[in-house]
Amino acid sequence: MSDLATLGGTHGSELYFERVMVRGYVDVIPYRRFTDMLNQKERAFLVVRNGLSQPAERPPSEQDGQYDIIVPRLSVLCATMFKEATAPRSFNAAEYRIKKEAQACFVAFGPYAALGYFHIRAGLNLVEMMEILQDDYLPLTNANLYFLSQPQTPPRSLDLLVVNRHRMEAFYLM
C-alpha cells in the first residue's frame, strides 16, 4: 500500500483567489482535516493535482483539469471542498473537538462576502476568540458565498467555507 492510502488522503478542493478559483485535489500526508491542511504553517505552497483554473465568479466546473498547479498557501482568500479525504482508522476526531457555540456571522474579504456560522468557544466573545486563535484560516459552516462584483449571481451554498483571517475586511456576529 502507498503512504497516501495508509497515512494520508486527498481533499477535493476549491481555492478562491482575487480573480480565479483553482479546483483540484490536494494530498495530505499525514492526514489532516481540510481546515488543518490550510493552516499548516510549515507549508508555504499547496500543490493542486489535476488542477483547473477558471474565473472565480463562474460556477465550478465538474471536470478535472490536467495540470499540477502550485499556489501560495496564504494567497488563498477562501476555500471549500467538494470531496473530503477519508481519515485513516488511527485518526481520533474526538481529540480535535472543543465545545463551541455556532453563531451567525458576516465576513467580507477581497471581492467576496459570506454569511454563515462561526463556532465560538463557550464563554468567549468574538474579539477574545480571534485573539486566542492562531490559525490563518477560520471555518464557517452552512455558508453562502457572494461575489460582490456580480450581485446578480446567486450565492454558492456551502457546508464548509474556510476564510483567510488576514484578508478579512469586516467580520461580525449577527
**DSSP string for residues in the chain:** --HHHHH-EEEEEEEE-SSEEEEEEEEESS---HHHHHT-TT-SEEEEEEEEEEETTSPPPSS--SEEEEEEGGG--EEEEEEPPPPPTT--GGGG---EEEEEEEEEETTEEEEEEEEEETT--HHHHHHH---SEEEEEEEEEEETT-TTSPPEEEEEEEEEGGGEEEEEE-
Where residue 28 sits, what CATH number does that domain have?
Answer: 2.30.30
On the question of pLDDT at 87 being above 70, the answer is no
* Average pLDDT along the chain: 87
CB 92 within 8 A of CB 115: no
Q: Of 33, 55, 83, at which residue does a domain stop?
A: 83
On the question of pLDDT at 85 being above 80, the answer is no
* 130: containing domain: 98-173
CA 54 remoteness from chain centre: 18
Q: Mind listing the pLDDT tens digit for each residue in 93-152?
A: 555 566 778 999 999 999 999 999 999 888 888 999 899 888 999 999 999 999 999 889
Percent of the chain with pLDDT over 90: 57
Name, in order, each residue with C-beta under 8 angstroms of 64's C-beta and a sequence gap of 6 or more: 24, 50, 52
Residues 106 and 72 in one domain: no
CB 77 within 8 A of CB 30: no
Residues 119 and 64 in one domain: no
Residues 103 and 142 in one domain: yes
User: Cell triple for residue 24?
Assistant: 483540484
Query: What is the reported pTM?
Result: 0.87
* 88 within a domain of the structure (yes/no): no
Residues 49 and 111 in one domain: no
Percent of the chain with pLDDT over 70: 87
CB 138 within 8 A of CB 162: yes
* 89 within a domain of the structure (yes/no): no
* 50 within a domain of the structure (yes/no): yes
- Domain count of the chain? 2
On the question of pLDDT at 158 being above 70, the answer is yes
Where residue 156 sits, what CATH number does that domain have?
Answer: 2.30.30.100
How far is CA 165 from each of CA 138, 141, 151, rounded to the nearest angstrom? Answer: 6, 15, 23
